[in-house]
Structures are given as C-alpha cells and as structure tokens.
Amino acid sequence: MKKVLETERLILREYTLDDTQFVITLLNTEGWLAFIGDKNVRTEEDAKTYLLNGPIKSYAENGYGLSLVVTKDGLTPIGMCGLIKRDNLDCPDIGFAFLPEFTGKGYAFEIADAIITYAKDTLKLPRVYGITMPENEHSKRLLEKIGLSYQEMYSFPNQEKELMLLCYEFSN
C-alpha cells in the first residue's frame, strides 16, 4: 500500500482491492451521485472493477491517480482525492469527494492543497485543471481556494452537460 503524501491531520494513500466497502459507500453518497454521477458501483465486484479500471490502472499508467484519504488519528477512511489524466486534456485535473460526515472540517482543502504542491514540486507538472458543474458551489470554492482560476465552459466529448474548466498554471 503506497503512501502518496501526508499533511498535519491526513494521509493520502493509493487504493488497494481491500478498499471496496469504502468505495461502495462513497460512490453512493448524495454528493457523489449529484455532482460526479452514478458509476453503478453497488457490489464488491462492481467496486473491484471500478478500482482496477480507474485508480489502480492510473497508478500504473500515469504514476498518480485518485487515492484514499485517511485520518492520521485512527486511520479512518474519509474521502478520495487525486489527479486524473484524461485523453482530451494535456494535464490532469484534480478530483475530490468526501463522506458527508467529514465535510465542513477543512479536510478537503488540506489534502487538495497538498496535492497541488505535489503536482508542482514532485511531479513537476506545468499546470493542473479542475472540472466542476457550475452549480457545485463547494467544489468551485475549494478549487479557487487552492489556486485555480476559471478558464472556460467545457464539455466532455459526446456529453451535452456544460461544465466549468479551471486551471492553475505553475510558474516552474
């Protein structure tokens, strides 16, 4: 199990196939379903397929991917955060989602801010994007708090929904 980074209160580590129960819970929260979308992950089998084709595949292909956020005190899994490489963007975008009982405590900011530093200083990426629904006020606020600025409206290929594309251009 690989640790990606740690902050004052949190550890970010790569997912393993032992994290299926957490994935089922997180991907069926109201916030995930409303603002990210239904991935139809309901069973252990679905969660394994999601992890293998998503985060775990990305670690092997890109050296980074969506990872699990756990508290240092208790090692409780509370959310996911990380970078996602998409075919149609030249650099990854940052993604995050937390269980509702762990929002409003600054945890998402703490880990997302650390990922920005990691992307800039460790991965040495030139920029990081953020993609969000315009009505997702919490996500927009967080993306701006960690330094991203609005670029343009954006749609994924073959999808109608208009999203906001934000970007943090690093100067290294």
Ligand X SMILES: CC(C)(COP(=O)(O)OP(=O)(O)OC[C@H]1O[C@@H](n2cnc3c(N)ncnc32)[C@H](O)[C@@H]1OP(=O)(O)O)[C@@H](O)C(=O)NCCC(=O)NCCS
Binding site for ligand X (CB under 6 A): 31-32, 35-36, 96-98, 103-109, 132, 136, 138-139, 142
Nearer to ligand X, 12 or 36 (CB): 36
Min separation Cβ 52 and ligand X, Å: 22
What are the DSSP calls for 115-156, one per residue? Answer: HHHIIIIIS--SEEEEEE-TT-HHHHHHHHHTT-EEEEEE--
Judged by beta carbon, residue 48 or residue 138, the one nearer ligand X is 138
State the number of CA atoms in the 13 A half-sphere of 160 facing the CB. 0
The span from the CA of 4 to the CA of 137, in Å, is: 28
| Minimum distance from residue 29 beta carbon to ligand X (Å) | 7
d(CA 97, CA 31): 8
Closest contact distance (angstroms) between CB of 99 and ligand X is 8
Instruction: Give the Cα separation of 116 and 114 in Å (integer).
Output: 5
Nearer to ligand X, 45 or 162 (CB): 162
Minimum distance of ligand X from residue 25's CB (angstroms): 12
Sign of CA dihedral 139, 113, 171, 90: negative
Listed residue (57, 68, 58) closest to 14, CA to CA: 68
User: Measured from the CB of residue 138, what is the shortest distance to ligand X in angstroms?
Assistant: 4
Nearer to ligand X, 109 or 150 (CB): 109
- Which residue has the CB atom at the shortest distance from ligand X? 106
Of 4 and 79, which CB lies nearer to ligand X in the complex structure? 79
Angle between helices 137-145 and 107-117 (to 10 degrees): 40
